[in-house]
Amino acid sequence: MVQIMDHHSRSAEKANAALVELHARYSKKLLGYFIKMLNKDVNLAQDFVQELFLKIMEKKHLFDPEKKFYSWIFAIASNMCKTAYRHHGKLVELNAENTRFSSLDENTFEKKQFLSALQKSIDELEHYHKTVFVLRYLEHFSLNEIADITESSLGTVKSRLFYATRKITERLKHYDPSFETQLFKLN
Amino acid sequence: MEDHISQLFDLIASKAYRSLTNEEKAFVDQHISPEEYEMQRSIIASTEELEYPDAIPLALETPPVSQPILMRTIPLYQVLIGAACLLVGFFLFSGKKALDVNFSGDPFNISVQHNSPVIQVIHDTVFKSLPLLKSTSAALSNMSYVIDTVYVLNEQYAANTRMLDASVPSLNLKLNESLVQSSGLSAKDDKSTTLLPKSQEFTMK
């Protein structure tokens, strides 16, 4: 990736070609991250992806070749979400489909309700808690990668993850976790 | 404090409560309840089941490529307009110097730089030298113009060096002017000949 940035940035046309290549590699993962961070607002997430790649083009001189490229672009993405939070506050409105349970049986209904509440609790987290939570449990980044992206220490990342989960737990403690699964994949 | 939190996080991420050793259970119990411990694990596991829209990224809209100014192409009409402007500017301003008028405070003493293209000073009073009888054709060509005041130079006739010595001191200015205005008629038809003295002095015997 560093090679792409170096070799293709000599002229404007080649820089655009490099940008298209980067877009092909990272846009889907970035779009998924933005959708989760922006409360499923797909259109806004698409705009953010476009804006992010334009930022990459403008600030390519700020890229440190010693660091991983995806950490850099996810750091930019995280900062964009932080700015959006500052300007618009918490985006806590959930899509209408998350509250429709009409045709579900009781067990599925309860589970859906729990997942809906979990979704809402994640959306209501503070930005720095939500960022690490989404990166870790929804985008499956390693702890070290999250530390790079958020430019913080490993201990800080663990602490934020713990408190983020704790806040969600407090909000959902009235749910009976009888449906908990055995899908623990954490390393 | 942060070390405890970090250790708690590692335990939650790796083991169920019932799998903890007695020491680990004691450590956990110091900070959170077993129910909260399991609840945190449940929530982390449940995040796998959250559903998000699976959207396809839109095509990247790359910014227009901006070329250096020397590499840009411009329409032919712009070239022609530029060349025409250059020509007009050249003919308007070539060879003309800036006006350099010196107002010295004396309204009758305004000087303009030599060869000034803009202003030609016409003085209020112009002196005119009238052509005299003895003047040559070259003198006539130096005639000036009078605008306001005319000074007429009355000049004595030069000594008559003619052989016949007409000796006509009464031949005055009126005759001179008439002669000047002569239309080239013959002496017979010229009315001014009536002014000539009729004497036998001119008669050749």
Contact residues on chain A for B71, CB-CB shorter than 8 A: none
Neighbour count for residue A171 (Cβ, 10 Å):
17
pTM: predicted TM-score of the whole model, two decimal places: 0.57
At A85 the pLDDT is 83
**A63 and A128 housed in the same domain:** no
Same domain assignment for residues A138 and A67 = no
Residues A55 and A102 placed together within one structural domain of the fold: no
Q: With a cut of 50, say whether residue A148 has pLDDT above it.
A: yes
Residue of B62, B67, B72 to mutate, interface with A, max A Cβ within 10 Å = B62
Are A5 and A79 found together in one domain?
yes
Q: What is the CATH number of the domain that holds A14?
A: 1.10.1740.10
Q: Which two tokens stand for residue B203?
A: 């008669």
Residue B156 burial (CB count, 10 A): 7
Residue A79 and residue A109 share a domain: no
Residues A26 and A59 in one domain: yes
Q: Is the pLDDT of residue A136 over 90?
A: yes
Give the CB-side neighbour count of residue B140, counting CA atoms within 13 A: 8
Least confident of A8-17, B29-38, B156-165: B156-165
> What single string gives the DSSP state of each residue in B82-96?
HHHHHHHHHHHHTT-
pLDDT tens digits, one per residue of B82-126? 999 999 998 888 765 555 555 555 555 555 555 555 555 555 665
Same domain, A66 and A147: no
Instruction: Let me know: does B58 contact A42? Beta carbons within 8 Å.
Output: no
Regarding whether A119 and A55 lie in a shared domain, the answer is no
Residue in this structure with the two tokens 């049986």, named with its chain if needed:
A105
Number of domains chain A is built from: 2
In the predicted model, what is the mean pLDDT of residues A90-108?
Answer: 44
Final residue of a domain: which of A74, A91, A108? Answer: A91
- Mean pLDDT across A177-183: 43
CA distance B31 to chain A (A): 12
Q: Could you list the residue range(s) of the whole structural domain that residue A31 is in?
A: 1-91
**Interatomic CA distance for residues A171 and B174, integer angstroms:** 132
pLDDT 10s digits, A39-88: 888 999 999 999 999 888 888 888 888 888 888 999 999 999 988 887 76
pLDDT tier for residue A92 given thresholds of 50, 70 and 90: very low
Best to test chain A binding among B37, B38, B47 (most A CBs inside 10 Å):
B47
Q: Of A47, A73, A91, which marks where a domain is finished?
A: A91
Question: Of the candidates B43, B52, B62, which has its C-beta nearest A35's C-beta?
Answer: B52
Q: Where are the alpha helices (DSSP H) in chain A?
A: 2-7, 12-37, 42-58, 69-88, 106-123, 127-133, 143-150, 154-172
- Asked if the model's pLDDT at residue A123 lies above 60, the reply is yes
CATH classification at residue A184: 1.10.10.10
Greatest C-alpha distance within chain B: 176
Count of A-B CB contacts under 8 Å: 120
Residue B92 or B196, more confident: B92
Which one-letter DSSP state was computed for residue B143? Answer: -
Q: How confident is the model at residue A134 (pLDDT cuts 50, 70, 90)?
A: very high
Asked if A113 and A148 sit in the same domain, the reply is yes
Domain ranges within chain B, ordered by starting residue: 2-47
Greatest CA separation for chain A: 61
Whether residues B49 and A138 touch (CB distance < 8 A) is answered with no
pLDDT of residue A155: 93
Q: What is the structure's pLDDT at B29?
A: 93
| A114 and A124 in a common domain | yes
Among candidates B36, B49, B53 on the partner chain, residue whose Cβ is nearest the Cβ of A42 = B53
ipTM, interface predicted TM-score of the complex: 0.75
Last residue of a domain, one of A70, A91, A112: A91
Contact B50 A46 (CB under 8 A): no
- Co-location of A74 and A17 in the same domain: yes
Return the pLDDT at A185: 35
Looking at the fold, whether A100 and A166 belong to one and the same domain comes out as: yes
Best of A56, A169, A175, A182 to mutate (most B CBs within 10 Å, chain B): A169
